[in-house]
Structure 1
Amino acid sequence: MSEDLDALWDFEDPIGSAEVFRAAIARAGGAERDVLTTQLARALGLAGRYDEADRLLESLDATTGAAEAGAEVAVRVALERGRLRRSSGRPDPEPLRRAADLAHTAGLEALRIDALHMLALVAETPAAQVVANREALALARTATDPRARRWEASLLNNLGCALVDAGDPGAALEVFRQAQQLRHDAGQGREEQIARWMVAWALRLLGRRAEALAMQRTLKEDLVAAGIDDADVDAEIALLTDRPPS
């Protein structure tokens, strides 16, 4: 890929991202064009244009078996089909399992972890989500591809949420703290702020309200200094002080 997919994405603006991908597709050819088309389908799915996204993925089905297409196209078609079905309210693990298996065979570590993280999201029970997240996390921690290793903090966050849903906020607190440390070490300021919120949330769930309130108030001060409004922080402070959010 001559195009950096991450650089083309703005997940806050899927329609804008779709236009960026259309322009990139016009410049590309072969397998690169097909990879970019999977990302256009993803952007359209995020925008709620499910039928259009599905047609794009169907248009790629005939190319994924071609030798010149390469494994990445087949993996991404299956992955985005699974992602699209979840977004449209039709969660289906089968395309995600196919994506994970194909990525494993092809040695595409980051895409395999992406597929496994999606499988965790469509798992039917919190216990199954915990198992799936732990599997993906173990792979991220032992991966050789830096893009795969970068999944660790996100997977820790997802694992923490699954542990909360499974009734174990104590274990969730530990993994949320690990995620916060990773964000801090990586210099990811906004992501670290979100991770701090998760830690404070787990503290509240454990009944450690004074610690939770202190964390949320410090976080609020940092957000104000950065010019950021965060309704979730305000809501937690309101819960912890028994007053409506301002």
Structure 2
Amino acid sequence: MSDKTDLSLLWDFGDPAASESRFRGVLDTPEAQADPAFRAEVLTQIARALGLQSKLEEARSVLDEASELLPPESSASAWVEIERGRIENSSGNPQEARQHFLEAWAGARRREQEALAIDAAHMIAIVSDEAESLAWNQKALELASESADPKARRWTASLLNNIGWTHHSAGRFSEALVAFERALEARLAQGQAEPTRIAKWCVARCLRSLGRVEEALARLRDIEGQADDGFVDEEIGECLWTLGRREESRAHFTQAFDKLSKVPGLAQNEPERLQSLRDRAG
């Protein structure tokens, strides 16, 4: 169906339970009742929402239901594969996830589902080592840049961000900065305030890694009042600390600790980060 409901508009990744509810509402529409492939696609998004709520077994069951609906060579087949991959990755099975992502990539490319192919490529990058991750993100970026599909082109900023962090993690800070600045340009062109603010933070973080700390601090001051963000507080504190302005930094570390200690998963995954903030707080 060329005029089918755009399911991407129903997503709020910050509230997967509400998203799930909206997708379940679509199942009751005549559109989903009449078109098995579309109904299967809706089920894949329900599964993704369940996965984001850590309801992994329920998500698997929903994907099994979607699979049973699919006719041969269905346009929804790649959706099932990518969501199976996400569930397996969330379950701690990256190699099994990778196989599903590769199937999703191949199926989406075969059916010219460019935005879905890009999503699959970026997921392959997530479960790959550094060199392969960079290659898959570059492949996805090329597809996004060449695509006439607005949904595919919207991936450009996210992919540049991922490429930037891959370079940054490897200590290639100059290459990272180029990617982050290109990502910021793409965000500015899209005109969305929150992603643009985050892109500006990434540029500032990379500038600090390059030793351009005064520039980094100036960039952070520009976004400091735009949101109540512990990551901005933390980075301002790091810049001030590096510049020897230790007493001035302590209030920012205090705010950062108070906010970031409440971020789900951060205390478990990066306890040393929070301890460093606590140690330097005022």
TM-score strictly above 0.5: yes
Does structure 1 residue 162 correspond to structure 2 residue 166? Answer: yes
**Structure 1: 5+ residue stretches without partners:** none
In 2, Cα distance between equivalents of 1:16 and 1:80 = 18
Contact 1:127 1:166 in 2 (8 A): no
Contact 1:104 1:112 in 2 (8 A): yes
Does structure 1 residue 218 correspond to structure 2 residue 222? Answer: yes
For the aligned residue pairs, the C-alpha RMSD in angstroms reads 1.3
Matched with 1:229 is: 228
Matched with 1:78 is: 81
Query: What is the deviation of 1:71?
Result: 3.0
Among all aligned residue pairs of Structure 1 and Structure 2, give the percentage whose two residues are the same amino acid.
Answer: 41
Matched with 2:51 is: 45
Deviation per CA, 1:195-230, whole angstroms, max 9, x where unpaired? Answer: 000000000111111111111111113x1xxxx201
Deviation per CA, 1:3-46, whole angstroms, max 9, x where unpaired? Answer: 22122111111111111111111222222111100000000000
Deviation per CA, 1:58-97, whole angstroms, max 9, x where unpaired? Answer: 2222333x24xx5321010001011111122222210000
Matched with 1:36 is: 42
Matched with 1:196 is: 200
3-state SS, counterpart of residue 147 of structure 1: helix
Matched with 1:144 is: 148
Matched with 2:186 is: 182
3-state SS, counterpart of residue 167 of structure 1: coil
Matched with 1:89 is: 92
Query: What is the deviation of 1:185?
Result: 1.6
The amino acid across from 1:40 in the alignment is I
Does structure 1 residue 116 correspond to structure 2 residue 112? Answer: no
The amino acid across from 1:151 in the alignment is W
The amino acid across from 2:99 in the alignment is E
In 1, Cα distance between equivalents of 2:172 and 2:75 = 37
Does structure 1 residue 103 correspond to structure 2 residue 108? Answer: yes
The amino acid across from 1:112 in the alignment is A
Q: Normalization by structure 2: what TM-score?
A: 0.81
Contact 2:157 2:183 in 1 (8 A): yes
Does structure 1 residue 240 correspond to structure 2 residue 239? Answer: yes
In 2, Cα distance between equivalents of 1:60 and 1:187 = 36
In 1, Cα distance between equivalents of 2:204 and 2:58 = 41
The amino acid across from 1:176 in the alignment is F
**Structure 2: 5+ residue stretches without partners:** 242-248, 256-282
In 2, Cα distance between equivalents of 1:241 and 1:53 = 46
In 1, Cα distance between equivalents of 2:92 and 2:210 = 32
Contact 1:71 1:103 in 2 (8 A): no
Matched with 1:16 is: 18
Structure with larger Rg? 2
In 1, Cα distance between equivalents of 2:185 and 2:74 = 35
Query: What is the deviation of 1:141?
Result: 0.6
Query: What is the deviation of 1:129?
Result: 1.3
How many residues matched? 237
Matched with 1:172 is: 176
Spell out structure 1 runs of 4+ moving beyond 6 A.
Answer: none
3-state SS, counterpart of residue 8 of structure 2: helix
Contact 2:37 2:74 in 1 (8 A): no
